[in-house]
Amino acid sequence: MPKAELHLHLEGTISPETLWKMAQKNHVSLPVSTLKELRALYEFESFDKFVSLWQAMCRCFKSEFDYAEMVEGFAKDCRRQNIRYAELHFTPFNHEKFAIGGKRALKIVTKKLEALEKEGGPIVRLITDIPAEAGEKAGEYTARLLEEEKNPLIVAIGLGGPEAGFSRKKFTPYFERARKAGYFCVAHAGETAGFSHVREAIIDLKAVRIQHGVRAAESQQTLRLLKERNICCDVALTSNLCLKVVKKLSDHPLKKLLAAKIPVTLNTDDPPFFNTDLVQEYTLAHQKIGLNLRELWEINLNGLRYALCEVAVRRRLMLEFEKKAPAAQTN
């Protein structure tokens, strides 16, 4: 079926093959000596191992070509899985330390994504994240960038990076500025920290969607808040499993969110790093959580209903989806 995905990070889509190519070209040493070893390094074992791989990857961004390669790899994966629409998190602040800087990186990524849309897709909109661990400096940088940008693809400000120990509410002034500049607000909350972060994201940051949000299931009051405000949670099952939010998928709170009538979407977050893709996430939701095809199709449509793109784009995609997935609709 044609699919929409609302929660994945561009830097988190780099496959071992693309990373290997970038490292070779730029003469960057990786903590492994063969592509086979690099593939093994991608097997998620602990958050520390994940961070060391992430840092090695960051050292590979040297030129415009590397950013174009990253987008090309992402687009190829979308086409393989028939992902027609995606909202992609990108964090320019983190790229300030690399060779071409955050703003130029954003420009290259945008140019490449615009060209892809013209060539038939996927259609992609961007969410510009503040990395929570970098605090006020990153908040200021991101708010200012959004105020100054005339980027046609950015639809929202986001809050990414590690969640536990980093209050959501602290970022309120930057979210306020982005909202005044015309952007939507979304935020990571309720994955590695509890439901209070979901509340802060909704009440203080005025988030219209929550990335993850699954720990809201621990609080009836928070579930009610999500339902009343019609806020969609962009759930990532395998990411939750790898980061030990749940011990096994059959314990996952997705069903609780659905029972509370909260709209959800299914997502990959950082697909190769968690050794998953969107097809696998749908398969897991069916096999391990017991959702039927009708429920999965509704979840897929949520990816358009709660998308932050222009209405005309959303409507066009909805008509396209309806036409192309009759079997899933009737089952």
Which residues are known to be catalytic?
A: 191
Give 185 or 325: the residue with its C-beta nearer to Zn ion. Answer: 185
DSSP label at residue 199? H
Nearest to Zn ion of 30, 208 (CB atom)? 208
Please identify, among the stretches 45-53, 203-211, 243-251, 290-298, the one whose residues bind Zn ion according to the rule CB under 5 A.
Answer: 203-211
Alpha-carbon span 284 to 308, nearest angstrom: 26
Stretch that binds Zn ion, among 62-70, 140-148, 263-271, 285-293 (CB under 5 A): 263-271
Residues numbered 207-236 forming contacts with Zn ion, rule: CB under 5 A: 211
- What's the closest the beta carbon of residue 244 comes to Zn ion, in angstroms? 16
In terms of DSSP H, where are the helices of 119-262?
135-148, 172-180, 195-203, 220-228, 237-242, 254-259
Beta carbon nearer to Zn ion, 211 or 276: 211
Give the ranges where the chain is alpha helix by DSSP (H): 16-26, 35-41, 47-58, 64-81, 92-95, 102-118, 135-148, 172-180, 195-203, 220-228, 237-242, 254-259, 278-287, 293-305, 311-324, 326-330
Q: Minimal CB distance to Zn ion: which residue? A: 269
Considering only CA atoms, give the Rg of the chain: 19
Token look-up 């391990």 returns 288
| Least CB distance to Zn ion at residue 249 (A) | 18
Tokens of 171: 């970022």
For 15, the 3-state DSSP assignment is: coil
- Binding pattern for the stretch 282-311 against Zn ion, x by CB under 5 A and - elsewhere: ------------------------------
Residue numbers 85-144 binding Zn ion by CB under 5 A: none
Give least dist CB 227 to Zn ion, A: 23
Least separation in angstroms between CB 294 and Zn ion: 27
Nearest to 295 by CA among 331, 268, 323: 331
**Among the residue ranges 24-32, 251-259, 265-273, 313-321, the one whose residues contact Zn ion (CB under 5 A):** 265-273
* Interacting residues of 9 by C-beta distance below 8 A, sequence separation 6+: 88, 89, 90, 91, 129, 160, 269, 270
Quick check: 269 binds Zn ion (CB under 5 A)?
yes
Residue 245 CB, nearest approach to Zn ion (Å): 12
Neighbouring residues of 146: CB distance < 8 A, sequence distance ≥ 6: 128, 154, 157, 177, 178, 181, 183
For the chain, what is the total number of helices (H) and then of strands (E)?
Answer: 16, 8
The answer to whether residue 200 forms part of the interface with Zn ion (CB under 5 A) is no
Q: Among 193-201, 249-257, 262-270, 287-295, which window interacts with Zn ion (CB under 5 A)?
A: 262-270
Where does this chain touch Zn ion (CB under 5 A) — which range of 51-59, 98-106, 167-175, 264-272?
264-272
CA distances from 232 to 28, 68, 81, 198, 209 (A): 40, 31, 23, 12, 5
192, 193, 106, 197: which is closest to 153 by C-alpha?
106
CA gap 265, 232 in Å, rounded? 7
Of 11 and 69, nearer to Zn ion (C-beta) is 11
Nearer to Zn ion, 110 or 211 (CB): 211
Q: Please identify, using beta-carbon distances, which residue of 269 and 281 lies nearer to Zn ion.
A: 269
State how far the Cα of 11 lies from the Cα of 159, in Å rounded to an integer: 15
Least distance in angstroms from the C-beta of 170 to Zn ion: 19
Considering the complex, state which of residue 12 and residue 139 has its C-beta at the smaller distance from Zn ion: 12
Number of residues near Zn ion (by CB under 5 A): 2
Contact between 5 and Zn ion per CB under 5 A: no
Closest separation in Å from C-beta 236 to Zn ion: 7
For binding to Zn ion (CB under 5 A), which residues are involved? Answer: 211, 269
